[in-house]
Amino acid sequence: MIESMSYPLFKYFDRDFLQPFLTEIEKSPNLQLHWSEPTLAVVKTETGFRIETADQGYESDLVLTTVNVHPRLPEAFAVFELHSDQTIWTDAYLETSATDIFAVGDLIQIPNAITKDTVYMPLVNNAVRSGIAAARNLASKTTPFRGGLRTVGTQLFEWYLASTGLTESDRFFFESPIVCHAFTAASSLFDPTQVHGKVMIEQASGRIVGAQLLSKANILEKINLLAFAIEQQATMEELTQKDFFFHPRFTNVLDQTFIWSGSDADET
């Protein structure tokens, strides 16, 4: 695996937070990991491919490129005003610069629900939600698109990873200071599998602006609660005092501890 940044998944996770996952995959005998190595060229050879990076070259039977995507627009789309990354400009109601033509999904930038900048977030969640908003606006422009938080969840090797909103590294794009709280909790009363969490909080208001979760237990669904809390501009205090059911068999410890009160919270 060849990655130009100093660790993988940098858009969604801070490096310190990913360390348990990174330490484990770095020990894997089946993976060769090359961080901080931009790929410069992929050259076809008689037996396969040669991947040339800034540092050296690697021989490989197969190459899978997973670099960032961007829209590849046909010439007919030249009628639209575009952003510099070739996405189609839209107003808040997803109407393009051409009257009565709307654009959605991977063709557009969408508002970051926290920073209010528009950014390219090519995800199914954004494609579906922007499609719904645009459909509502076809007859009359009543529904501004609320944008997204870059909410993602996945499983890699034995780990479940999920992220929403700002990372700690994103704090440079946010106008006011952010504090971060890290915590660990057991996954449930019957399952001691550790859940690692990190929550980014706007210092002045206490509202949550980002969260990351990592565990070998399936905690993916929990990121949706945090994403909704961020959308609703909920504070940590509000999340701590929420009213969730308790049943020893079904309750998730993470729900009860949410998140930092009484745990080993760490302020950075």
Residue 105 within binding range of ligand FAD, rule CB under 6 A = yes
Q: How far apart are CA 120 and CA 106, in angstroms?
A: 8
Stretch that binds ligand FAD, among 117-125, 162-170, 199-207, 233-241 (CB under 6 A): 117-125
Q: How far is the CB of 101 from ligand FAD (least distance, A)?
A: 14
Residue 62 within binding range of ligand FAD, rule CB under 6 A = no
Between 88 and 219, name the residue whose CB sits nearer to ligand FAD. 88
Tokens of 67: 């670099």
Q: How far is the CB of 74 from ligand FAD (least distance, A)?
A: 5
Q: Which of 60, 115, 125, 184 binds ligand FAD (CB under 6 A)?
A: 125
Q: How far is the CB of 164 from ligand FAD (least distance, A)?
A: 12
Residue 11 within binding range of ligand FAD, rule CB under 6 A = no
Stretch that binds ligand FAD, among 42-50, 124-132, 194-202, 246-254 (CB under 6 A): 124-132
Half-sphere exposure of residue 88, counting CA atoms within 13 Å on the CB side?
25
- For residue 49, the cross-strand partners are 44, 60
Q: How far is the CB of 266 from ligand FAD (least distance, A)?
A: 30
Cβ neighbours of 218 (radius 10 Å)? 13
Burial of 201 from C-beta contacts in 10 A (0-12 / 13-18 / 19+): buried
Q: How far is the CB of 69 from ligand FAD (least distance, A)?
A: 7
- Residue 120 near residue 71, CB atoms below 8 Å: no
Considering only residues 127-186, where is the footprint of ligand FAD by CB under 6 A?
127
Helix runs in the chain, H state only: 15-26, 124-137, 222-231, 236-240, 253-257
Residue 29 within binding range of ligand FAD, rule CB under 6 A = no
Q: How far apart are CA 107 and CA 111, in angstroms?
A: 13
Residue 106 within binding range of ligand FAD, rule CB under 6 A = yes
